[in-house]
Each structure stands twice: as structure tokens, then as C-alpha cells.
């Protein structure tokens, strides 16, 4: 089993790899992994928790994954340092390949300062695709899955001519329309074209582009996304149904998020932040069936590093028109809640592939803030749907 990560040098990507290795070597247990719940125990027959890792990134390409993880660790102390030391040999052997930062916005270009990306070296879109295909091709086998854990891109305006069909998308590649194509689209394109299941852990467009959905159907490969549901949105979509079940009217919902680290730095840029805000904001209305007043804010707070804090305030109306309030604070280490999901999604997608599924796997909505091709945002129902889907597949 192999896992290719776009954005492998980020804290989510590196923590997923540390987690998988730590579990395999008996340095940690499987707490936090949905795929390790006893209900899913047959998953190990189709997609065991054993991966080789590779990936693309756009910075620090002279370093190996151990050095990168050390840098994340120095800032965050997000797990027991002894685990890192014991995995040193494993992590030193993992090195990122050079990716593309095309249309990744000023958040990535200014703050992560990628050097000599493929497009900066003068590659055309076709040549970038060929290079990415070569990297993945040299790594992949029949049991490979790819997940995008790169920084969030700005929303690129939808252009029906180039985005709605596979023919249009490939025309954009031939015409070298660099203004129409983003990195996440290219990554999804190369993975799906090679028959590798793909998931978009970010709010970036990735395989949700109609042209790429067509590609997945044509090749016969499963894919899923978008944007891992790991923290505040997980709580929101678990809690909002309570108001609906009890016929309480939500008048307003404010979610105020602060975080530091690279992700926070990139999201400090308005255009990179926009896609994340859309992804977080719409879930309450989707669950309630009406759209209360909402405020969704994300702000950069450097000293927090990867410790993300969300403050939510809900104003609601009960019996006899009486108004009441509910508050919660979510305070988590972002990578620690995200990394196990990356491994879960990889395993469920490989199961889907082995069972011959193709196209969007909407039953994986449980893992995403903006699930593709479904209007089911209620976490409780999403979990039941996941269990039913799994039961049918493995029986
Ligand atoms: N709880 C969570 O942490 C969580 C939840 C949902 C979604 N996400 C998303 O997951 C992604 C990763 O989060 P993170 O905290 O690891 O961020 P990070 O900034 O630590 O890592 C992102 C990595 O992607 C790399 N990158 C940026 N643009 C790239 C490109 N075009 N190609 C290849 N690599 C590229 C960066 O160099 C960096 O190493 C973000 O988009 C984030 O919004 C995170």
C-alpha cells in the first residue's frame, strides 16, 4: 500500500506519516483513527494500515522528511519527541519531489517562498503534467492512493470552456492556459488519469471540477473531498442537528477561529482564506434547512502555532419565543486531529477501488466539510451512511 501526498512537507502530511510509522512499530496505539474502530475491522483485509510514502512539495526540497518534521516539532511539540527519534531512519529516507504552485495565491507565493517551481523553470502545463506523472509513475503500484494536503488555494473563477468537460480541460493544457489551471487541478488530473484514487483534504477545487469528475468516471477510479472535517466544523455539524431535532430556532451562529503556523499564515491572505470560509460557513444552513445569520472568521495568531482555537456563539429561540445562548470553545492541535483522517480516507478509498467503485464516493462525506455530490452535512447521519456503505462492500 502506498500513499502519495501533495504537500507532504506540511504539518498534516508529516504527522500522518509519523503516526502510521509509530503505530506499525508499536510506539503508539490507534486512538483517533476511525478506520480502526472495531466496526471496520475487516478493512485490514483490503487496506491494511501499512503505507510507503512519497509526495510533492514546493519548498525545502533540499531537506528530508525527518528534518522537516523536526522543524514542525520545534514549533509545536505536538507529540512525544522520543517517537521522532525512533523513526529517524525511516523519515530520512522520504524526500519530496518538486511540485507546482500554479495559481496558489499570494499566501503560498509570498509566505512559503517556493523556489524554482516547475512553472518558474519555464515548464509549459503539458510539461508540468509530464513531470508530475513521471514522479508518481515511478512510485505508484496497483495499491496506491493520493491525497492533497497542500496549502489552500484561492478560488479560481469557473470557466465553462475549460472546466466543464475533460476535452476543455485538456484544451487548456494544450493551449498552456496557465490562467485557467491551478496546482490542485493538475494533481487531481495526474492521479486520476493514472487510475490512482484521489482525495482532496483541502478546500481547493481538486477533483471537484466537472472536467475531472468526468475523467474519474472515464478511467473508472474513485475519488472524494473536499476539506477534512476535523475541528470546529466537526463540532458544528454534530451540534447543529440537536437544534433541528428539538425544533429550536437558530437565530445566529458565530464561529471565530484563530491559528498560527504555516496554514494560518497562508490563510491570513484574503484570497487563500475565501475558499476555507465558504467551506466552514455553509454547513449550518445545510443542516437546519434555513440560513440563520452567520459570522465565520479565521485570523492568524502567530504564537498559537498549530494550536487552533475556535470560539463559537449560537443565539437561538425556544418555547414561547424566548431567546437563549450556547457557547463552545474548540481548542485542538490541528495536525493531531487531521492526520488520522488522512490515513482513514486513504484506506476507505483503497477499499472503494478494490471493490471496483468509480467516481465520487459520496459515502465518505463523514470526513469532509464540503462533501462532494451530497447535501448530507449531519455528522450523525454521515456516520450511519459510511457504516452502511462499508457493510455492503465487505460482506
Ligand atoms: N485540522 C487541519 O489541520 C486541517 C483540516 C482541514 C483541512 N486542512 C488543510 O490541509 C492543508 C494542510 O494543512 P497543514 O496544516 O499541513 O498546512 P501546512 O502549511 O503545514 O502544509 C502545507 C504544505 O503544502 C505545501 N504546499 C503549498 N502549496 C503547494 C503546492 N502547490 N504543491 C505542493 N505542495 C504545496 C507547503 O509547502 C507545505 O509544506 C491545508 O490546506 C489546510 O487548510 C487542515
Nine-digit cell at 157? 473563477
pLDDT at 260: 86
Is residue 26 scored above 80 in pLDDT? yes
Side-by-side strand order, sheet with 307-317: 293-300, 249-259, 307-317, 323-333
Co-location of 389 and 344 in the same domain: yes
Ligand 1 mean position, distance from CA 187 (Å):
14
pLDDT at position 192: 98
Ligand 1 proximity of 97 Cβ (cutoff 6 Å): no
Residue-wise pLDDT tens digits, 272-292: 787 777 777 788 999 999 999
Does the C-beta of 14 come closer than 6 Å to ligand 1? no
C-beta separation of 58 from 114 below 8 A: yes
CA–CA distance, 384 with 378 (Å, rounded to integer): 10
Q: Are residues 183 and 329 in the same domain?
A: no
Q: Are strands 307-317 and 249-259 parallel, antiparallel or unpaired?
A: antiparallel
- Indicate if 134 and 163 belong to the same structural domain: yes
Residue-wise pLDDT tens digits, 239-267: 999 999 999 999 999 999 998 888 788 87
- Residue nearest (by alpha carbon) to ligand 1 atom 11: 149
Taking residue 247's Cβ as centre, other Cβ atoms within 10 Å add up to: 8
Choose the residue to mutate in 9, 10, 265 for probing ligand 1, maximizing ligand atoms within 8 Å of C-beta.
10
**Which of 333, 356, 383 is the endpoint of a domain?**
333
pLDDT recorded at residue 280:
72
* Confidence band for 306, pLDDT divided at 50, 70 and 90: confident
Q: Is the pTM of this model over 0.75?
A: yes
Q: Which residue has the cell 493538475?
A: 186
Q: Is 281's C-beta closer than 6 angstroms to any atom of ligand 1?
A: no
Confidence of residue 120 (pLDDT cuts 50, 70, 90): confident
Shared domain check, 376 and 242 = no
The CATH number covering residue 28 comes to 3.40.50.720
The residue segments making up the domain with residue 256 are 232-333
Of 333, 368, 386, which marks where a domain is finished? 333
In short, whether 228's Cβ falls inside 6 Å of ligand 1 is yes
Ligand 1 within 6 A of 337 CB?
yes
Whose CA is closest to 347, among 42, 7, 10, 75? 42
pLDDT score recorded for residue 127: 96
8 Å CB contact between 229 and 383: no
What's the pLDDT score for residue 332? 93
Encode pLDDT of 178-202 as tens digits: 999 999 999 999 999 999 999 999 9
- Strands (E) in the chain, as ranges, are 2-6, 52-57, 97-98, 144-148, 198-200, 222-225, 249-259, 293-300, 307-317, 323-333, 359-360
pLDDT by residue (tens digit) across 336-390?
Answer: 999 999 999 999 999 999 999 999 999 999 999 999 999 999 999 999 999 999 9
Rounded Cα distance, 389 and 99, in Å: 35
Of 333, 362, 383, the domain-final residue: 333
Q: With a 6 A CB cut-off, is 305 part of the ligand 1 pocket?
A: no
| 190 and 274 part of one domain | no
Q: Are residues 195 and 59 in the same domain?
A: yes
Whole-angstrom Cα distance, residue 123 to residue 176? 10
The pLDDT score that the predictor gives to residue 264 is 82
Q: What is the number of structural domains in the chain?
A: 2
How does pLDDT run across 144-180, given as a tens digit for each residue?
A: 999 999 999 998 999 999 999 999 999 999 999 999 9
CB atoms inside a 10 Å sphere around CB 26: 7
* Digit-coded pLDDT (tens) for 44-94: 999 999 999 999 999 999 999 999 999 999 999 999 999 999 999 999 999
Give the whole-angstrom CA distance, residue 107 versus residue 47.
Answer: 36
Amino acid at each position: 500500500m502506498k500513499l502519495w501526498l501533495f504537500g507532504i512537507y506540511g504539518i498534516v502530511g508529516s504527522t500522518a506519516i509519523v503516526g502510521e510509522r509509530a503505530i506499525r512499530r508499536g510506539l503508539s496505539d490507534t486512538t483517533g483513527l476511525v478506520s480502526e474502530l472495531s466496526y471496520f475491522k475487516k478493512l485490514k483485509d483490503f487496506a491494511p494500515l501499512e503505507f510507503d510514502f512519497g509526495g510533492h512539495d514546493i519548498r525545502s526540497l533540499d531537506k528530508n522528511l525527518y528534518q522537516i518534521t523536526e522543524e514542525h516539532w520545534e514549533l509545536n511539540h505536538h507529540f512525544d519527541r522520543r517517537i521522532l527519534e525512533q523513526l529517524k531512519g525511516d523519515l530520512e529516507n522520504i524526500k519530496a519531489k518538486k511540485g507546482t504552485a500554479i495559481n496558489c495565491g499570494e499566501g503560498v507565493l509570498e509566505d512559503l517562498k517556493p523556489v524554482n517551481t516547475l512553472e518558474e523553470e519555464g515548464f509549459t502545463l503539458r510539461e508540468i503534467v509530464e513531470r508530475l506523472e513521471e514522479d508518481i509513475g515511478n512510485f505508484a503500484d496497483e495499491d496506491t492512493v493520493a491525497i492533497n494536503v497542500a496549502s489552500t488555494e484561492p478560488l479560481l473563477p469557473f470557466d465553462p470552456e475549460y472546466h466543464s468537460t475533460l476535452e476543455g480541460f485538456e484544451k487548456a493544457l494544450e493551449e498552456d492556459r496557465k490562467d485557467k489551471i491551478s496546482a490542485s487541478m493538475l494533481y487531481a488530473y495526474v492521479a486520476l488519469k493514472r487510475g490512482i484514487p484521489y482525495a482532496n483534504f483541502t478546500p481547493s477545487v481538486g477533483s471537484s471540477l466537472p472536467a475531472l469528475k468526468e475523467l474519474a468516471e472515464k478511467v473508472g477510479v474513485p475519488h472524494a473531498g473536499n476539506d477534512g472535517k476535523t475541528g470546529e466544523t466537526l463540532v458544528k455539524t454534530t451540534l447543529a442537528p440537536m437544534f433541528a431535532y428539538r425544533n429550536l430556532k437558530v437565530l445566529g451562529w458565530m464561529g471565530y477561529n484563530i491559528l498560527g503556523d504555516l496554514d494560518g499564515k497562508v490563510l491570513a491572505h484574503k484570497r487563500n482564506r475565501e475558499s476555507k470560509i465558504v467551506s466552514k460557513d455553509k454547513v449550518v444552513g445545510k443542516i437546519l434547512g434555513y440560513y440563520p445569520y452567520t459570522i465565520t472568521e479565521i485570523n492568524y495568531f502567530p504564537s498559537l502555532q498549530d494550536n487552533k482555537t475556535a470560539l463559537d456563539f449560537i443565539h437561538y429561540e425556544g418555547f414561547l419565543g424566548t431567546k437563549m445562548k450556547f457557547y463552545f470553545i474548540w481548542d485542538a492541535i490541528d495536525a493531531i486531529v487531521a492526520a488520522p483522517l488522512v490515513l482513514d480516507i486513504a484506506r476507505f478509498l483503497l477499499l472503494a477501488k478494490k471493490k471496483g467503485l468509480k467516481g465520487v464516493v459520496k459515502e465518505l462525506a463523514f470526513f469532509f466539510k464540503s462533501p462532494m455530490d451530497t447535501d448530507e452535512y449531519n455528522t450523525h447521519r454521515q456516520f450511519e451512511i459510511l457504516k452502511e456503505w462499508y457493510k455492503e462492500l465487505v460482506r
